[in-house]
Structure 1
Amino acid sequence: MFSSLRHRLLATASAVGLAGALLTVGSSPPADAAVPDTIPLKITNNSGRADQVHVYTLGTSLTTGRQGWADANGTFHAWPAGGNPPTPAPDASIPGPAAGQTKTIRIPKLSGRIYFSYGQKLDFRLTTGGLVQPAVQNPSDPNRNILFNWSEYTLNDSGLWLNSTQVDMFSTPYTVGVQRAGGGVSTTGQLKPGGYKAVFSALRAQPGWGGLIQTRPDGTVLRALSPLYGVETGALPASAMDDYVNRVWQKYTSTPLTVTPFADQPGTKYVGRVSGGVMHFTNSAGAVVTSFQKPDASSVFGCHKLLDAPNDTVRGPISRTLCAGFNRSTLLSNPNQPDTSAADFYQDSVTNHYARVIHDRMADGKAYAFAFDDVGHHESLVHDGNPAQAHLTLAPLD
């Protein structure tokens, strides 16, 4: 099923796309500019691998709301009806470029994902509710031993949003880019030299976090699961964030926590205090507007459950701010949130070490290592209101 990245993605086995929040971000194209129905996507294979690359464009039509896939020409095809148990989906793969080569395809107006795999096609299935995508946290998933990754994108009348994401997993690296009408190109997602292997080395060196790494039976490293999946599968202790959460709850029993969730609305503030084990937030009139039970590690890493963030104007914005503060461990050091200074992030010994390690290895410091990593604009995202071309560059695994 397809859902919003920010809404925590994984109410189902897979979430897709930047629908929702991202559709309201950024500038609109000039009045005389019209975003075409499809735009070119230039895929460059700098991986150095000899394996055949398979590419997929999957998503939800923003016109009809139907799920489907796009061929290399950008033509959208709705999925046929699925079954229970799930039935094989039509082969939506597009042959990708060989090592050292480029290939240009077209992508349509969708909210979805661009998958790529090495050496083997991905196994997609259809249920009566829609597409079932890879869920490699499940050891029996047929894609478990395939080396693959994906980028998320939304293309609509207001332009293109394209990201590199590690919200679900960190795997074979790539960068994304957008070429503007004037010819300039913005890119993000590039690792520092040696950064890919350095992420795995750093996770292994962090006590308790090496279990996130998945390998093939022959020992080939495939990916690191997100800490949410680590908790859900037992690869990461469910108590991973307890100490920090307990200290936060203790501090704000006697100290106010001020949340200013909108950068462009500095006068909109909410004050949180813990009473009776619950953090209550009040508005400027002193009325309680929302409350939070003490979150567990799953709620923190997933930005869901006890830190659910509905698409509203009060609880959602407060929750996403709390989620970012917990993952970055800034809630104890700064009672005014969000703290948007990267220098303040991950300084506590109890933190989201997965996010810390990934951000530290990114050339521009930007990543989507958890669902609300865009708080303070630390996300790996490119956007343009009138894109001439999108770019996806497969990087070496070094």
Structure 2
Amino acid sequence: MPHRHARTALPYAAAAALVGGLLAFGATDRADAAVPDTIPLKITNNSGRSDAVYIYDLGTQLSSGRQGWADAGGGFHAWPAGGNPPTPAPDAAITGPAPGQSKTIRIPKFSGRIYFSYGQKLDFRLTTGGLVQPAVQNPSDPNRNILFNWSEYTLNDSGLWLNSTQVDMFSAPYAVGVQRADGGVSTTGHLRSGGYNAVFSALRGQPGGWSGLVQTRSDGTVLRALSPLYGVETGALPASVMDDYVNRVWQKYSTSTLTVTPFADQPNTKYYGRVSGNAMNFTNSSGAVVTSFQKPDAASIFGCHKLLDAPNDNVRGPISRTLCAGFNRSTLLSNPSQPDTSAANFYKDGVTNHYARAVHAQMADGKAYAFAFDDVGNQESLVHDGGPQQAYLTLDPLS
């Protein structure tokens, strides 16, 4: 099940460890009892909307690696074979709670997504390679005019990671939570009062094409704001939108050094970046070049991929995610030591990821997943516990 940010609901370090066969999180904070095969997810509808709500739990079953969906009781159903062109997927919709009500379902050990839609069911299709995710940047996508959103989660033997995400789009607001083994509850994802409309207003008022990210339905309903990556890919946002900042970064570090300390728990692991021509070359403490990055374009920056590819290794990936965060937050000129983890320093340049700036500004706790490596410096909207008793998904007002 493909995702724009490959570590679905897992911080970078945990995902890297998981790939290596050892999950870094959970060893010290999990409950003594094993994480059960399913846990309850309480869904509360505080949206204020009268539309019917539909819930989907879609993902990869961790015990088998099969893609499929879960019913309201947490039972797994593998997707049937798809086709080319894609064939309709089985109806995996769970009827959600009525306005002002709650409904509890059970979620299994998945790495996947919990979708919710208002007013009508989502249209999922299957190809020979598996599930086709909605791609609302495509005007012909069957879900283009549906108001919907999703949360990402991983539930495994080491616990639950559950996030709210704006990596692909900002849309119908929601918060996530977990009841910990000690009975306490952690939540994240709530907007400030009036924050939903404020994000759209900020984008519409931002010169340079940012208003093009906002999508509305023919009846005037605001549906979402596309991420700037999709804005660039579809032409809604100019491909040159980050060029001025990138040029200034390249100029600065052609005569000075950018120091990257990618691991907070390894302060002596440092890499040193200098620009030579079109490349920023990074050396280790011995002076050996360990990796190089070509001058990135906006798509590479907003997507944290392509020229800023971040493999799950111990050198290039960690440097790349640090650069990606620095470019999106525009901290590379103001601070030659990265990552800069002080949110007060983010998005201060006139050339920045204004989408991420607007989203973070309206979050009640300041936390969001507004781009793929927004977890650098722990700015992500994520809850985690090693012994989860219950998870929460709260649908918030669209105001």
Where on the TM-score scale, by shorter chain, does this alignment land: which range?
over 0.9
Alignment of 1:20 onto 2:21: no
Displacement of 1:277 in angstroms is 1.8
- The answer for the alignment partner of 1:10 in structure 2 is none
The one-character-per-residue Cα deviations of 1:82-111 (angstroms, maximum 9, x if unpaired) are 000000000000000000000000000000
Structure 1 contact 70–77 (Cα < 8 Å) conserved: yes
Displacement of 1:183 in angstroms is 1.6
Please state whether the residue corresponding to 1:97 is helix, strand or coil: coil
Unaligned runs of 5+ in 2: none
Displacement of 1:276 in angstroms is 2.1
- The answer for the alignment partner of 1:43 in structure 2 is 43
The one-character-per-residue Cα deviations of 1:354-378 (angstroms, maximum 9, x if unpaired) are 0000000001000000000000000
User: 2:25 is matched by which residue type in structure 1?
Assistant: G
* Distance 1:17-1:342 versus aligned 2 partners, 3 A rule: closer
- The answer for the alignment partner of 2:310 in structure 1 is 309
The one-character-per-residue Cα deviations of 1:182-239 (angstroms, maximum 9, x if unpaired) are 2211000000000000000010000120100000011110000000000000110000
The one-character-per-residue Cα deviations of 1:233-270 (angstroms, maximum 9, x if unpaired) are 01100000000000000000000000000000000000
Report the Cα distance in structure 2 between the residues aligned to 1:182 and 1:75, rounded to whole angstroms.
27
The one-character-per-residue Cα deviations of 1:268-308 (angstroms, maximum 9, x if unpaired) are 00000001221000011111000000000000000000000
- The answer for the alignment partner of 2:319 in structure 1 is 318
* Distance 1:25-1:169 versus aligned 2 partners, 3 A rule: farther
Displacement of 1:4 in angstroms is 7.0
Report the Cα distance in structure 1 between the residues aligned to 2:385 and 2:234, rounded to whole angstroms.
38
Equivalent runs, 1:1-398 vs 2, <5 Å? 1-3=1-3, 5-6=5-6, 18=10, 20-21=15-16, 24=23, 26-28=25-27, 29-30=29-30, 32-207=32-207, 208-398=209-399
User: 2:216 is matched by which residue type in structure 1?
Assistant: T
Which consecutive aligned stretches of 4+ in structure 1 deviate over 2 angstroms post-superposition?
Answer: 1-7, 16-32
Report the Cα distance in structure 2 between the residues aligned to 1:276 and 1:327, rounded to whole angstroms.
22
Structure 2 contact 9–161 (Cα < 8 Å) conserved: no
Structure 1 contact 214–225 (Cα < 8 Å) conserved: yes
Structure 1 contact 2–60 (Cα < 8 Å) conserved: no
User: 1:128 is matched by which residue type in structure 2?
Assistant: T
After TM superposition, the score normalised by the length of structure 1 is 0.96
After TM superposition, the score normalised by the length of structure 2 is 0.96
Structure 1 contact 87–127 (Cα < 8 Å) conserved: yes
Structure 1 contact 252–273 (Cα < 8 Å) conserved: yes
- The answer for the alignment partner of 1:13 in structure 2 is none
User: 1:156 is matched by which residue type in structure 2?
Assistant: N
* Distance 1:344-1:22 versus aligned 2 partners, 3 A rule: farther
Report the Cα distance in structure 1 between the residues aligned to 2:17 and 2:223, rounded to whole angstroms.
29
Identity %: 82
Report the Cα distance in structure 2 between the residues aligned to 1:155 and 1:34, rounded to whole angstroms.
12
Displacement of 1:31 in angstroms is 6.6
- The answer for the alignment partner of 1:12 in structure 2 is none
Report the Cα distance in structure 2 between the residues aligned to 1:231 and 1:2, rounded to whole angstroms.
20
**Number of residue pairs the alignment of both structures matches:** 390
* Distance 1:230-1:47 versus aligned 2 partners, 3 A rule: same
Structure 1 contact 22–161 (Cα < 8 Å) conserved: no
User: 1:160 is matched by which residue type in structure 2?
Assistant: L
* Distance 1:3-1:200 versus aligned 2 partners, 3 A rule: closer
C-alpha RMSD of matched pairs (Å): 1.3
Structure 2 contact 284–290 (Cα < 8 Å) conserved: yes
